[in-house]
Amino acid sequence: MNIQENVALAPWTTLQVGGAARYFAEARREDEVREAVDWARTRNLPLFVLGGGSNIVVADSGWPGLVLRIAIGGLTSEGAGNGVLFAVGAGFDWDEFVAHAVVQNCAGVECLSGIPGNVGGTPVQNVGAYGQEVADTIESVRALDMKEDRIVVLPRPACGFSYRSSIFNRAERGRYVILRVNFRLQRGGGPNLGYADLKEHFAQTRTAPTLASVRQAVLDIRCRKGMLILPGDADCRSAGSFFRNPVLSDEQFQELDAHARARGLGVPSYPALEARRKVPAAWLVEHSGFAKGFRLGSAGISSKHALAIINTGGAQASEIIRLKDAIQQGVRSTWGILLEPEPEFVGF
């Protein structure tokens, strides 16, 4: 392994903030992952596993141990009939995989187009958007179990998927290094049109949706919301959606709705599991005094989407945190709801 010292981490992240890693290594094979993990363990160094850097905030002080970037590539597929199993390396670019699946006429991930980052990061938060989430298609996850020092294959039920959650960021956080993800997609399957924006798009165009046209529609929608990584676009210096959409019980939602009606507002919501309601965090942010384009120092809110905190240029991680705290406090004082951040905070 090539172990480097004092490597700046900001360039490895989409938010582009944060200090340096004391040590840094990149693993392109499974044996290199094990070697790096052992190297850190024998030196009693904290380990952080880095993927595409699209959903993290690195502290200004950086990381005091080893940052291990997973760069395991490769994509293979097999299957007879309609079901196709894709085995994808954890370091493979996520959107490249989605594009490949669509070209192969395989349904199941088309609505997840344009999401930055690598394949290995998607099971951690059970990444989802526009009516799909990766738990719908993941068959198993191959990972290094650092607790038992062995490589394991975890079938979907063992991953404990729920809304933006899994064992990888909850119950077993820090235990596994994801090496490869296996997805089962449906060849010839129809596209998912469960999301309102997509229904509206195809109602207006009056065209029959295909996997390719749904992928393009999602890319267009994400572009309008500043959720695509595009060179030269300041709104792209973000960690994506910074807060999870709250999922409320019926009683909690009725209380929120009554509060909103007293202000002459209607709360948008969507059905969630167990007879609950999902409320858009972006609506709560905007109706708590934080409009699109809001600035606090060199941190701000995207001019295109209220849920994206951005680095307007030269921001420190402390400024990102200050804005995050202000938004959380504002939403809580206005609506009685504490927004839960989506990104992982590294080195804090």
* Chain segment 102-129, per-residue pLDDT in tens: 999 999 999 999 999 999 999 999 999 9
Q: Are 18 and 346 in contact (CB under 8 A)?
A: yes
Q: Where is 256: in which H helix or E strand?
A: helix 250-262
pLDDT tops 80 at residue 27 = yes
**Residue type for position 292:** K
- DSSP letter for 169, please: T
Mean pLDDT over 69-90 rounds to: 94
Nearest to 300 by CA among 285, 319, 281: 319
State both tokens at 304: 């295109």
pTM above 0.85, yes or no: yes
Considering just the CA atoms, what is the radius of gyration of the chain in Å?
Answer: 20
In eight-state DSSP terms, residue 60 is: T
Would you put residue 66 in left (φ > 0), alpha (ψ -120 to 50) or beta?
beta
Closest C-alpha to 144, from 242, 34, 274: 34
Considering the segment(s) 4-70 as one domain, its CATH architecture is 2-Layer Sandwich (3.30)
Distance CA 297, CA 35 (A): 42
Higher pLDDT, 208 or 242: 242
Q: β-strands 138-145, 308-311: how paired?
A: unpaired
The ranges of the chain annotated as CATH 3.90.78.10 are: 234-346
234-346 adopts what CATH topology?
Answer: 3.90.78
Residue located via tokens 């994206």: 308
Res. 26 pLDDT band, cuts 50 70 90: very high
What pLDDT does 244 receive? 96
Work out the mean pLDDT of the chain and round it to a whole number: 95
Residues forming the active site: 164, 241, 342
Tens digits of residue pLDDT in 4-23: 999 999 999 999 999 999 99
Asked if residue 99 lies in contact with residue 124, where contact means CB atoms within 8 angstroms, the answer is no
- Hunting for tokens 């709104």 — which residue is that? 235
Between 275 and 153, residue with greater pLDDT: 153
Whether residue 81 is predicted with pLDDT greater than 80 in this model: the reply is no
Nearest to 211 by CA among 116, 119, 103: 103
Non-local CB neighbours of 139 within 8 Å, separated by 6+ positions: 85, 155, 156, 182, 183, 184
Q: What is the mean pLDDT of residues 64-81?
A: 94
179-190 pLDDT tens trace: 999 999 999 999
| Average pLDDT of the segment spanning 339-343 | 96
Query: What does the DSSP assignment read for 2-36?
Result: --EEEEESGGGSSS----EEEEEEEESSHHHHHHH
Q: What is the pLDDT of residues 37-61, one digit of tens each?
A: 999 999 999 999 999 999 999 999 9
Residues forming CATH 3.30.465.10 domain(s) in the chain:
75-224
Half-sphere exposure of 70 (CA within 13 A, CB side): 31
What confidence category does residue 194 fall into, taking pLDDT thresholds of 50, 70 and 90? confident
Residues of each domain in the chain carrying CATH 3.30.43.10: 4-70
pLDDT at 203: 87
CATH dotted code for 75-224: 3.30.465.10
Report CA 94 to chain centroid distance, whole Å.
Answer: 11
List the structure tokens of 48: 């952080």
Task: Quote the percentage of the chain above a pLDDT of 70.
Answer: 100
What's the pLDDT at 116? 94
